[in-house]
Structure 1
Amino acid sequence: MTARLNMSRLVLGLQIWAADVREGFVEIMRHGLAVFGLAVVLVSVTFWARPNLQASASELLLGWLEIRQTDTVETPVVNNAATRATTKNLKNLTPDQLAVTRWLSRKYRVSAEPLGAMVAEAWSLGERSQLAPHLILAIMAVESRFNPFASGSQGAVGLMQIEVKAHAEALGQFGGQLSAFDPLTNVRVGVRHLQGLIEQTETLEEALWLYGSSSGQASESQYVERVLAEQQLLDKVTERQSTAALAAKGLRAQL
């Protein structure tokens, strides 16, 4: 009888203890949510009263999101052709480059921005290879009319009509054989090929003939003459640009 009474008291005590724990937990949660809600209200009022804090918080959140995104995205290969832009802001071109870009854009009906990137690249490669930028552009004009997806009868592709298999090693440095359709890659490999031909020959005309032969255009009559004629036209474009610039400078000086 006594044992049964003690057991009943123990069960009753445990029930009371559990009820007290439950009520205490609920009370703590209630106060916690109230404090959290009050904090949210205070922060909202603070941001509303001080827009500069809101802007700073937004920048901090955006920065954190960008870091998280960077951490989850695989870092691209630097030499991959797909990671490079193939357009150029015309404001970043020199006066000569801009004049050539606009002239070629009108003649070949090509958008100026991507064409500007090719013109700027021709200038850059010309400085490094000691080749005239206008010669590089003239080859592009004759070979593909500035179509980066052009395909020749002998399998040559791109702006400067390079052979993919023949230049597989060079293309591998830029992401593989498909990078031949990337305009910048195609021009760089084409210029390197022309440099090699110039070193093997005695005259520029002979090197150009070999270049046309490798691209499948040697059978066409007057290939070399067409390239050199295009180069001369581009020379005249920059000459007119320089003359106009000098005239404008003289007029400003008189005023």
Structure 2
Amino acid sequence: MNMPHLVLSFKTFVTDVKEGFVEITRHGLALFGLAIVLVTLTFSVRPDLQATASGALLGWLQIRQSENQEPTPQRDAASRSTAKDMQKLTPPQLGVTRWLSRKYRVSAEPLGAMVAEAWSLGERSQLPPSLILAIMAVQSRFNPFASSNPGQVGLMQIELQAHTETLAQFGGNLSAFDPLTNVRVGVRHLQGLMQQTESLEEALALYGLASGFSDEGQFVNRVMAEQLLIEKAAE
């Protein structure tokens, strides 16, 4: 076979393939258009099928999106934690926080939040912050999940049954396990006892009895001794 004849045969082959591809494409588009028309007519007659198909498509897209996305950590966890930046504490608060952290083997940051809260409550309640912290130390050793007697829970060992109405203002009895809520309710309870008695010692004795201390004097002495140590740490 000579070269001109070979070239002519190749051109004929290319032309046939091109015409065949165009013909197949034209028929394919026609079939696709016909399918679109049939689906549209079906959906117009059966709206329920359209809703089902839309739901299935949406579900598939959501699954694909979730598969393609990598899990990301919660970025608001730090804002929900009960902790305090040590640089935001005053010098007395910082000294107390470090001393209590070493003594009770509690992390400084969450303990710093309790110390700052004691200072804030002290200003509003006219109670020494050192006294509030001393009660926490004796009652729970700064364990927010401590429980001495049945129903006595948290940092200040408040009695759930006796403070149900107060805890309802914070969301219910489970709020007693929130450290800040527990301290606020405990301080409010101590204020109420002080109004019923003639001295702070008597109010503390009643507080100790409600928390399960059988010896009134023991609880008062332990709180007072702890308070003196905390005041020295603040200096």
Q: Same fold (TM over 0.5)?
A: yes
Instruction: Supply the distance in 2 between the matched residues of 1:218 and 1:154 (Cα, whole angstroms).
Output: 15
1:139 alignment partner AA:
I
Moved over 6 A (4+): none
Residue 170 of structure 1: aligned partner: 166
Residue 114 of structure 1: aligned partner: 110
Secondary structure of 2:162's partner?
Answer: coil
Residue 223 of structure 2: aligned partner: 227
Secondary structure of 1:151's partner?
Answer: coil
Instruction: Supply the distance in 1 between the matched residues of 2:80 and 2:166 (Cα, whole angstroms).
Output: 17
- In structure 2, the gaps of 5 or more residues are 1-26, 34-78
Cα RMSD, aligned residues only: 2.2
Contact 2:104–2:142 (Cα < 8 Å) also in 1:
yes
Instruction: Supply the distance in 2 between the matched residues of 1:120 and 1:84 (Cα, whole angstroms).
Output: 17
Instruction: Supply the distance in 1 between the matched residues of 2:198 and 2:137 (Cα, whole angstroms).
Output: 24
Residue 179 of structure 1: aligned partner: 175
Residue 128 of structure 2: aligned partner: 132
Instruction: Supply the distance in 2 between the matched residues of 1:113 and 1:165 (Cα, whole angstroms).
Output: 31
1:197 alignment partner AA:
L
Instruction: Supply the distance in 2 between the matched residues of 1:232 and 1:135 (Cα, whole angstroms).
Output: 9
Matches for 1:152-231 after TM superposition, within 5 Å: 152-219=148-215, 222-231=218-227
1:115 alignment partner AA:
L
Contact 2:106–2:142 (Cα < 8 Å) also in 1:
yes
2:85 alignment partner AA:
N
Instruction: Supply the distance in 2 between the matched residues of 1:225 and 1:125 (Cα, whole angstroms).
Output: 23
Contact 2:206–2:216 (Cα < 8 Å) also in 1:
no
1:186 alignment partner AA:
N
Instruction: Supply the distance in 1 between the matched residues of 2:147 and 2:171 (Cα, whole angstroms).
Output: 20
Do the aligned partners of residues 132 and 191 (structure 1) sit closer, same or farther apart at CA in structure 2, a change above 3 Å counting?
Answer: same
Q: What displacement does 1:152 show?
A: 1.1
Instruction: Supply the distance in 2 between the matched residues of 1:224 and 1:235 (Cα, whole angstroms).
Output: 17
Instruction: Supply the distance in 1 between the matched residues of 2:146 and 2:171 (Cα, whole angstroms).
Output: 20
Contact 1:90–1:113 (Cα < 8 Å) also in 2:
yes
Residue 140 of structure 2: aligned partner: 144
Residue 56 of structure 1: aligned partner: none
Q: What displacement does 1:153 show?
A: 2.0
Q: Which of 73, 85, 89 pairs up with 2:85?
A: 89
Aligned pairs, number? 165
Bigger CA radius of gyration:
2
1:102 alignment partner AA:
R
Instruction: Supply the distance in 1 between the matched residues of 2:80 and 2:162 (Cα, whole angstroms).
Output: 24
Contact 1:210–1:218 (Cα < 8 Å) also in 2:
no
Instruction: Supply the distance in 2 between the matched residues of 1:107 and 1:163 (Cα, whole angstroms).
Output: 26
In the superposition, the TM-score normalised over structure 1's length comes to 0.60
Q: What displacement does 1:118 show?
A: 0.3
Do the aligned partners of residues 182 and 227 (structure 1) sit closer, same or farther apart at CA in structure 2, a change above 3 Å counting?
Answer: same
Instruction: Supply the distance in 1 between the matched residues of 2:82 and 2:216 (Cα, whole angstroms).
Output: 30
Q: Which moved more, 1:230-239 or 1:127-136?
A: 230-239
Instruction: Supply the distance in 2 between the matched residues of 1:100 and 1:119 (Cα, whole angstroms).
Output: 8
